[in-house]
Amino acid sequence: MPELPEVEALAQFLREHAVGAVVGRVDVAALSAVKTFDPPVTALSGRDVTGAGRWGKFLGMECGGLWLITHLSRGGWLRWIDEPSQTPPKPGGKSPLALRVHFFTPEGATPAIDLTEAGTKKRLAVYIVDDPKLVPGIARLGPDALDVTEEQFTEILRGTSQRIKTAIVDQTLLAGIGNAYSDEILHTARISPFANTKTLAADKVSELYAAMRAVLTDAVRRSVGQDAARLKGEKRSGMQVHARTGMPCPVCGDTVREVSYAERSFQYCPTCQTGGKILADRRMSRLLK
């Protein structure tokens, strides 16, 4: 799933490539992806692209007073097409394409952006609104992970009692962090994913805040300026524990371990994070003795 650094990079990509263009035809290939009907997607046509923004993991493109907002979910992505097909896609086909926005640039080019979604579980969402806060998911977001102060961060953690891994990916508490970067942040802070927010020592909360800032800032720095097609690879290359089950931890050399969920998993280093203990399967919800 694209998280804060990748979505920020995509927003910057749109600022550099789409701002100044005029929206042409908008092709909807997956009707289920469009979550609003008034104004219709056709209302974007003929409007100047005037900006782009990010709210947590939501990406937005401003088109003359209207916003095209998307949440890419797990399998979604944005692609820039220099020479798109001019034949409208057939709605409901097997193609991963969900939405295509054609542009006319001041230079006379006719590129497009494609919103695509891989896999069979279609969760990509598109909204056309005049105010991003009208998108329900944006209205529910907590403070952005790169904007929150340490004092606010501490209050957020102390205001709940749950596993730290669960808390920092809860978008209503803190916006922008997902499964991958939470693994990296906890590894950097040397904190167990099963540590409780209520009982985490004050010095560890401070270390966690610093790790969050460092990991996300570094990821944004590496991601912004990359071509949209290269962002996924850039994300993978920077990971130390996430998606590295069975491989040696680059910090201590211990084997990276995994805890599996119904649809996903997370990774951690026992030596760096849990005092050498192996975390139990989620169903047991305790440490193995």
List the chain pLDDT tens, one digit each, 289 residues.
899 999 999 999 999 999 999 999 999 999 999 999 999 999 999 999 999 999 999 999 999 999 999 999 989 999 999 999 999 988 877 789 999 999 999 999 999 999 999 888 889 999 999 999 999 999 999 999 999 999 999 999 999 999 999 999 999 999 999 999 999 999 999 999 999 999 999 999 999 999 999 999 999 998 888 777 777 777 888 899 999 999 999 999 999 999 997 778 999 999 999 999 999 865 444 444 4
Torsion of CA 15, 17, 20, 23, to 10 degrees: -110
Q: What is the pTM of this model?
A: 0.93
